[in-house]
Amino acid sequence: MTVPYKLNIKQWAEEDRPREKLLLKGKAALSNAELLGILIGSGTKEYTAVDLAKMILDQYEHDLHKIAKLSVQDLTRFKGIGEARAITIVSALELGRRRKAGRQEARKITSSADVYELMRPELTDLAREEFWLVLLNKGNKVIKKQPVSQGGVSGTMADPKLIFNHALNHLASSIILVHNHPSGNHKPSHQDDRLTRDLVAAGKLLQIAILDHIIFTDNSYFSYADDGRL
């Protein structure tokens, strides 16, 4: 098959080159393909960096949330994307995910929605299940977001001894449990129910209240407290 002739990016009008366009018009003027093309850096003999970016975007329906979940290995399956370019893309998307994380702690938690927003930087776009704690002081202000365990696509283990050890070490007055479901289904499992009951009971003995257990997905969440199940 004959590959249609394409101009190299250097042959484009200066205002249409992604880097120059960003300098001239600002980052908001660039499309997702152009921004991704800057990360890719350079193209191949057949395709420009922007063409390669469009191929990746087309494959995932231009959904940046899906692209943010890709691994280095996933990206290197695209012709023209080597390991170094894939690492650059994954790193940039991870920085975007983390950018609000440093501002979230020391805030007061007043609702399950506050917890969901607090944990967005940690749990959005993950392909595996993770279990976290939100440790609170007497004023319901966040002391720390504490990771507990990582698992696979369908489950993770949460050791009660480890959970309460974190709380005691940080002098927490209460805990909010949070874990994600990568499947996107926020419905609690029987295992989630059993763990929640056990931790609530243990917390009463230690006088460390379990205020909620949030099941996190990228687009929604379930709150045991809101559902009256604590």
CATH topology of domain 101-223: Cytidine Deaminase; domain 2 (3.40.140)
- Under 8 Å between Cβ of 147 and 101: no
Question: What are the DSSP E strand ranges found in 112-190?
Answer: 130-136, 142-150, 174-180
Q: Which pLDDT score, from 0 to 100, does residue 43 have?
A: 87
Taking residue 152's Cβ as centre, other Cβ atoms within 10 Å add up to: 10
Q: Which pLDDT score, from 0 to 100, does residue 4 have?
A: 52
Q: Which pLDDT score, from 0 to 100, does residue 195 have?
A: 94
Q: Which pLDDT score, from 0 to 100, does residue 14 have?
A: 45
Q: Which pLDDT score, from 0 to 100, does residue 114 have?
A: 96
Angle between helices 32-40 and 83-98 (to 10 degrees): 130
Q: Which pLDDT score, from 0 to 100, does residue 157 have?
A: 76
Question: What is the pTM for the complete model shown?
Answer: 0.63
> Domain locations in the chain?
9-98, 101-223
219: nearest Cα among 178, 182, 176: 182
pLDDT beneath 50, residues of the chain: 1-3, 5, 13-15
DSSP 144-165: EEEEEEE--SS-----HHHHHH
Q: Which pLDDT score, from 0 to 100, does residue 15 have?
A: 46
Beta strands 209-216 and 142-150 are unpaired
